[in-house]
């Protein structure tokens, strides 16, 4: 009996402390780390004591994000201006650093552009991911967290959406996410020592409280929140609300908006649960849907700014409702979204009013 108790205490201590040690000393390559979600994730990783190396070609982000990450955290991440399509460049990073895990954000994400330039999207997102994976295999790195998207659910038949809902692609961008998920599943079948996490993000908005990092797309924004903040700033005259005849409570589209910091924390929770091989997909959302008009109203109220809008035609490809069932991430990763809609709207504006 005593022996049984002692063995179990020993096992507990071993698991507890080795897991802690691994988490603290893990070195993470963050592709796309100067981008919107990547930069917030880098901040949370550094706060938790991870060593990080950023690889980004700066095609959709600015080099000064590295300074801003340092300003927020007091730690400067290693940064490589490298394209994931540059095999040698990626391998050089693995040669220079012992990488324990990759968080793979790098990719193009504009749905409309993907319809116009499908080959560019397939090449950048899929070929780029193949090169990252090949380098991981070559250098013995066994963990990867992949930025997937709710877009892999296509036109959802029911909401809230669970991870085992049917998957489909409705545009080339979505197809790249779906194919990469499939590729990672095949890779796991062939390499059973890998640990792979697919995080399916719903609609990230919000920004770090410092206002230093956030979502600042080039040109006219496609997504709702950056469009609203540009209208708030006076850079755009009014918001076009894409249709008010959907079968939703006020006729406008319903989405699951999630604070980007909650999303960032979700990546850390995922890393903490990648001690064992396997492949798992998780929804990262709040589980709550808000309509376009509810977002406009919440933004106006918390920031005390009027957002002029007109109702326009529906945007082709949009669905009426898309929101998650995030219970799998809660049960298995211990992750839940904590920020409120008001905090998302306030921090989005706090960032944009200071941005160039």
Applying CB under 6 A, the residues found at the interface with ligand NAD are: 32, 34-38, 56-61, 83-85, 105-109, 124, 128, 147, 149, 201, 204
Task: Spell out, one character per residue from 199 to 228, where the chain touches ligand UFG: x when CB under 6 A holds, - when not.
Answer: --xxx------------------xxx--x-
The answer to whether residues 339 and 264 touch, using CB atoms and an 8 Å cutoff, is no
Task: Spell out, one character per residue from 64 to 103, where the chain touches ligand UFG: x when CB under 6 A holds, - when not.
Answer: ----------------------------------------
Among 42, 184, 241, 261, binds ligand UFG (CB under 6 A): 241
Partner from ligand UFG, ligand NAD, none binding residue 318, C-beta < 5-8 Å depending on class = ligand UFG
**Least distance in Å: CB of 167 to ligand UFG?**
13
d(CA 11, CA 265): 28
d(CA 169, CA 175): 5
- Would you list the DSSP string of 219-268? SS--SHHHHHHHHHHTSSS-EEEE-S-SSSSSSS-EE-EEEHHHHHHHHH
**Least distance in Å: CB of 304 to ligand UFG?**
22
What are the two backbone dihedrals, phi and then psi, of residue 136, each rounded to the nearest 5 degrees? Answer: -60, -45
Partner from ligand UFG, ligand NAD, none binding residue 42, C-beta < 5-8 Å depending on class = none
d(CA 228, CA 220): 11
d(CA 50, CA 43): 10
**Considering the rule CB under 6 A, would residue 258 count as an interface residue with ligand UFG?**
no
Position of minimal CB gap to ligand NAD: 35
The answer to whether residues 214 and 268 touch, using CB atoms and an 8 Å cutoff, is no
Among 111, 145, 212, 284, binds ligand UFG (CB under 6 A): 111
Q: Which residues are catalytic?
A: 173
Long-range contacts of 136-140, Cβ-Cβ distance < 8 Å, separation of 24 or more: 136/94, 136/99, 136/102, 137/191, 138/91, 138/94, 139/91, 139/94, 139/95, 139/99
- Residues touching ligand UFG: how many (CB under 6 A)? 21
- Would you list the DSSP string of 266-296? HHHHHHHT-SS-EEEEEEES-S--EEHHHHH
Judged by beta carbon, residue 22 or residue 280, the one nearer ligand NAD is: 280
**Least distance in Å: CB of 248 to ligand NAD?**
20
**Least distance in Å: CB of 67 to ligand UFG?**
28
Q: Which residues bind ligand UFG (CB under 6 A)?
A: 109, 111, 149-151, 201-203, 222-224, 227, 239-242, 253, 255, 292, 315, 318
């Amino acid at each position: 009996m005593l022996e049984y108790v002692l063995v179990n205490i020993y096992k507990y201590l071993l698991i507890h402390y080795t897991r802690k040690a691994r988490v603290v000393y893990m070195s993470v390559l963050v592709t796309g780390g100067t981008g919107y979600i990547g930069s917030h994730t880098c901040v949370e990783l550094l706060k938790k004591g991870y060593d990080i190396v950023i690889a980004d070609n700066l095609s959709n982000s600015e080099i000064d994000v590295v300074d801003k990450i340092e300003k927020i955290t007091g730690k400067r991440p290693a940064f490589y201006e490298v394209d994931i399509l540059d095999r040698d460049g990626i391998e050089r990073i693995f040669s220079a650093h012992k990488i324990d895990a990759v968080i793979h954000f790098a990719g193009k994400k504009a749905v409309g552009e993907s319809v116009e330039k499908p080959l560019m999207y397939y090449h950048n997102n899929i070929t780029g991911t193949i090169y990252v994976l090949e380098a991981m295999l070559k250098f013995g790195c066994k963990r990867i967290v992949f930025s997937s998207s709710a877009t892999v659910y296509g036109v959802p038949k029911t909401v809230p959406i669970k991870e085992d809902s049917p998957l489909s692609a409705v545009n080339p961008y979505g197809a790249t996410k779906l194919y990469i998920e499939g590729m990672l599943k095949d890779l796991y079948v062939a390499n059973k020592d890998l640990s792979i996490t697919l995080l399916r993000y719903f609609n990230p908005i919000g920004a770090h409280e410092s206002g230093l990092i956030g979502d600042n797309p080039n040109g006219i924004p496609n997504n709702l929140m950056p469009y609203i903040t540009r209208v708030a700033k006076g850079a755009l005259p009014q918001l076009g609300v894409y249709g008010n005849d959907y079968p939703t409570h006020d006729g406008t589209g319903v989405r699951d908006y999630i604070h980007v910091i909650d999303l960032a924390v979700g990546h850390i929770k995922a890393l903490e649960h990648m001690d064992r091989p396997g492949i798992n997909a998780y929804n990262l959302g709040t589980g709550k849907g808000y309509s376009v008009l509810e977002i406009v109203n919440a933004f106006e109220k918390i920031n005390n700014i009027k957002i002029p809008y007109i109702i326009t035609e529906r945007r082709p490809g949009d669905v009426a409702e898309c929101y998650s069932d995030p219970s799998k991430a809660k049960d298995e990763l211990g992750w839940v979204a904590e920020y409120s809609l008001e905090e998302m709207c306030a921090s989005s504006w706090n960032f944009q009013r200071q941005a160039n």
